[in-house]
């Protein structure tokens, strides 16, 4: 199932976040707080790519919402 927020690179699934919409400061803070859930982080063109440790695909959706919620609380 293809969703706009995912990108597959060499059998790894990443969540992609546009740099203009999800700022680096926010992602850095999420990385610190959720260090166990984020396997890797990289930058590609206009996007940040995050590889997440997930049990279910719904975890990707939850992460999108988590970012909205987290931004409000920082």
Close Cβ partners of 21 (under 8 Å, ≥ 6 residues apart): none
In the complex with other proteins, the residue whose CB is nearer, 5 or 39, is 5
In the complex with other proteins, the residue whose CB is nearer, 52 or 64, is 64
Which residues in this chain contact other proteins in the complex, by CB under 8 A? 3-5, 18, 20-22, 46, 61-62, 64-65, 68-69, 71-72
In the complex with other proteins, the residue whose CB is nearer, 4 or 36, is 4
How far apart are alpha carbons 50 and 38 in whole angstroms?
Answer: 7
Q: Strand pairing of 12-18 and 38-44?
A: unpaired
């Amino acid at each position: 199932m293809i969703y706009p927020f995912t990108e597959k690179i060499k059998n790894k699934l990443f969540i992609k976040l546009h740099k203009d919409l999800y700022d680096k400061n926010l992602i850095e803070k999420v990385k610190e707080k959720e260090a166990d859930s984020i396997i890797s982080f990289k930058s590609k063109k206009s996007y940040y790519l995050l590889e997440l440790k997930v049990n279910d695909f719904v975890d990707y959706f939850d992460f999108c919402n988590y970012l909205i919620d987290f931004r409000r609380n920082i």
